A and B are shown apart, each in its own frame.
Chain A
Amino acid sequence: MTKQNKKTIVVLLLLSVLLIVAPVLALRGAEFGGSDDAGSVMVEEVTGEAYEPWATPIFEQFLGGELPGELESLLFCVQTGIGVGVIAFFLGRFVERKKIEKERENEQK
């Protein structure tokens, strides 16, 4: 990784943190509900009547009620965890591979 790239990454990371934090600080006290929910509210507004979904999520049918909030966040974390695990595993291998290649080159010299 070149110095230039390192700099770019640091700047980009700072920028992304700023993008996430700024709305939270700017809109203190806002609810930060899901925009999916805002969508269903809009459905009611547009059609002028409350919409009754004709199907319920399969897991909720199985549970016989709404998915508890804590469980939902657990499952979201599982999803994130799987993703991060896979990325970190392969990226780690790539980094090590490059290091070993470099060492070999140096030895040959």
Chain B
Amino acid sequence: MTKKERKLVSLAVSLALAAGTVPAAGAMHIMEGYLPPMMCAVWGVIALPFLIAGFFSIKRTLAHDRRAITLLAMSAAFIFVISSLKIPSVTGSCSHMTGTGLGAMLFGPSAVSILGVIVLLFQAILLAHGGLTTLGANTFSMAVAGPFVSYGIYKLCQKLKVNRHVSIFLAACLGDLLTYCVTSFQLALAYPAAEGGMAVSVVKFLGVFAPTQLPLAVLEGILTVIVMIALESYARPELRALGFEEG
């Protein structure tokens, strides 16, 4: 990295980090102002170490092999595309996918935290989707919890010698689904039901998000497999440089 590039990246990251700590944070699709200030701050603080780890992880990957930047850009772009598409689901409402599984498998989960936060900022600032106050909570669900689960499942499937494409599918699919489970949990924490408390409210929020998200999670798994097949066919040198095992 040249000095200029490093400066630019650090600036962008510190901006992102500053936003993460602003005492008003949210979750993936927890809307602006929908979490109490205290919780916004707590989620921001929780997400912060993952972002810092992600920054160093990306730096290390790029120092190891400059060429990785093309795949990094593509992983980020994949999140951009996938999370901009609102897809109709069986419940009669629309939701969208996260797209974080691909990057998590290629670059490791913490690197994706940075990519995810970029998308969340874009949507929070320009699209009134999510929000700056809820950024911390949204970062935690979409850019931390989801990718970590994807990565874990992918590694587990590798150990169990599951078919490669099946493991990629499972990882992306379950990571997406978990993102929404975490969102439900975050909302339930902020809004315990008057009768029955938090447990009841977790079930209620899951009832809204889970059925809608299930088909979309399957869709995300399928799309991730397609992109992975394309990369395996045409970007072998880059994948090898990342230490990504080929099937």
A positions within 8 Å CB-CB of B: 1-2, 5, 8-9, 12-13, 15-16, 19-20, 22-24, 26-27, 30-40, 42-43, 45-48, 51, 53-60, 66-67, 72, 75-77, 79-80, 82-87, 90-91, 93-95, 97-98
B positions within 8 Å CB-CB of A: 24, 29-34, 37, 70, 73-74, 76-95, 122-129, 131-133, 165, 183, 187, 191-194, 200-201, 204-205, 207-209, 212-213, 215, 218-219, 222-223, 225-227, 229-235
Q: How far is the CB of A59 from chain B (nearest CB, A)?
A: 6
**New A-B pairs, 8, CB < 8 Å, besides A34-B93, A83-B77:** A34-B94, A35-B213, A39-B187, A46-B205, A55-B131, A75-B126, A76-B86, A82-B80
- If A15-B222, A94-B235 touch, whether A46 touches B87 (CB-CB below 8 Å) is no
Q: Provide the residues of chain B in CB contact with A34, threshold 8 Å.
A: 86, 93-95
Q: Provide the residues of chain B in CB contact with A98, threshold 8 Å.
A: 233-234
Q: Provide the residues of chain B in CB contact with A33, threshold 8 Å.
A: 93-94
Residue of B with least CB distance to A34: B94
- Given the complex of chains A and B, what is the CA–CA distance between A94 and B233 in angstroms? 9
Q: Provide the residues of chain A in CB contact with B32, threshold 8 Å.
A: 53, 55-57
Q: Provide the residues of chain A in CB contact with B122, threshold 8 Å.
A: 79
Q: Provide the residues of chain A in CB contact with B83, threshold 8 Å.
A: 79
- If A20-B219, A43-B34 touch, whether A57 touches B131 (CB-CB below 8 Å) is yes
- Given the complex of chains A and B, what is the CA–CA distance between A58 and B34 in angstroms? 14
**Most chain A Cβ neighbours within 10 Å, of B124, B215, B230:** B230
Q: Do the beta carbons of B74 and A91 come within 8 Å of each other? A: yes
Q: Do the beta carbons of B70 and A38 come within 8 Å of each other? A: no
Contact of A35 among B33, B93, B132 (CB under 8 A): B93
Q: Do the beta carbons of A43 and B33 come within 8 Å of each other? A: no
Residue of B with least CB distance to A21: B88
